[in-house]
Amino acid sequence: MSPRSAPTSAVGLVVIGLLCQEVGASLAVLLFPEVGPLGMVMLRLVFSATLLLLIARPALRGHDRAAWVAVVQLGAALAVMNGFFYLALARLPLGVAVTIEVLGPLVLSIIASRRASAWLWAGLAFAGVVALAGGGWDRLDPLGVLFALGAAVCWALYILSSAKVGAAFPRLDGLALAMAFGALLSLPFGIANAGTALLRWDLVALGAAVAVLSSTIPYTLELVALRRLPAAAFSILMSLAPATAALAGFVLLGQHLSILELIGMALVIAASIGAVRAAGRRADEIAEPTG
């Protein structure tokens, strides 16, 4: 693969991953009445971990302490992020939940930029969040918003730890191990939430489908893309998640959004792109020789 085609193909991988993720999230919402949000998280992570372990067959030896710490951090980020996100989906429209969640990568980009313009992007994002509420947060479920904000924090941690795991482990080894750790963390909460629904094979099969769409495919593609793209470029692409989520929510769940909510999403996406581009320019300036 030529140097020029590598970034292009990586962009395609991220976009495909986003589409699969939102289709999987829509299917998960439909299963909430049967297995609950945390039961869905457990099914998603358990099946994803099983598939990745079978595919990657990761070696357990030959890794230093820092590599294992990165795996634990990524696994914890995956479990908690998915838990918060699905709890938010139970109370908020898909597009709204994802727009709030994307504030995590946005704040990460603003911090990385260290430019005065970062405050401009922060203000734009704030305006977007206000518009997202249709002019008043009272129309959104407060607990759902808190869950989405928790997912936002975990998404930022996921980006940081995923890059570390991708650098420390070959192929998909690190992701498979992290997914397995995340699945173990989710087991007690998922079993308590789903209960006897886990004995229904049709629901378990649908949970496996959600796992493939929402975790296995997107996280694998993202990990591969992170090896070919700078973190800043990756974050720009991830900022498109609110748009794909709103589309999936409308087409698959019949969730209609107001003009103000759509404007809010557009503002958050614009702020994310601007902040990440500013961070990228700063990185280039630091890399340039001064003499």
pLDDT tens-place string over residues 5-36: 556 677 788 888 888 988 998 999 999 999 99
Q: What pLDDT does 85 receive?
A: 93
In this predicted structure, the answer to whether residue 279 has a pLDDT above a threshold of 50 is yes
Whole-number Å distance between alpha carbons of 84 and 89: 9
Q: What pLDDT does 273 receive?
A: 75
Q: What pLDDT does 288 receive?
A: 39
pLDDT band for 56, please (50, 70, 90 cuts): confident
Q: Comparing 89 with 102, which gets the higher pLDDT? A: 89
The reported pTM is: 0.79
Q: What pLDDT does 43 receive?
A: 92
Average pLDDT over residues 137-142: 70
Q: What pLDDT does 118 receive?
A: 67
Q: Which of 37-46, 93-102, 103-112 has the lowest mean pLDDT?
A: 103-112
CB 23 within 8 A of CB 32: no
The domain of 217 spans 5-287
Average pLDDT over residues 169-174: 80
Q: What pLDDT does 133 receive?
A: 61
In this predicted structure, the answer to whether residue 219 has a pLDDT above a threshold of 90 is no
Q: Comparing 89 with 128, which gets the higher pLDDT? A: 89
In this predicted structure, the answer to whether residue 291 has a pLDDT above a threshold of 70 is no
Q: What pLDDT does 285 receive?
A: 46
Q: What pLDDT does 114 receive?
A: 65
In this predicted structure, the answer to whether residue 290 has a pLDDT above a threshold of 50 is no
Q: How many domains does the chain have?
A: 1
Average pLDDT over residues 244-271: 81
pLDDT band for 51, please (50, 70, 90 cuts): confident
Taking alpha carbons only, the member of 245, 68, 228, 65 closest to residue 155 is: 245
Mean pLDDT, all residues of the chain = 80
In this predicted structure, the answer to whether residue 215 has a pLDDT above a threshold of 70 is yes
Task: For residue 230, give both structure tokens.
Answer: 């700078």
- SS3 letters for the chain? CCCCHHHHHHHHHHHHHHHHHHHHHHHHHHHHHHHCHHHHHHHHHHHHHHHHHHHHCCCCCCCCHHHHHHHHHHHHHHHHHHHHHHHHHCCCCHHHHHHHHCHHHHHHHHHHHCCCCHHHHHHHHHHHHHHHCCCCHHHCCHHHHHHHHHHHHHHHHHHHHHHHHHHHCCCCHHHHHHHHHHHHHHHHHHHHHHHHHHHCHHHHHHHHHHHHHHHHHHHHHHHHHHCCCCHHHHHHHHCCHHHHHHHHHHHHHCCCCCHHHHHHHHHHHHHHHHHHHHHHHHHHHHHCCCC
Average pLDDT over residues 108-136: 69
Taking alpha carbons only, the member of 115, 56, 95 closest to residue 245 is: 95
User: Which residue is associated with the tokens 């030959």?
Assistant: 62
Q: Which of 122-126, 247-251, 254-258, 273-277 has the lowest mean pLDDT?
A: 273-277
Q: Comparing 24 with 105, which gets the higher pLDDT? A: 24
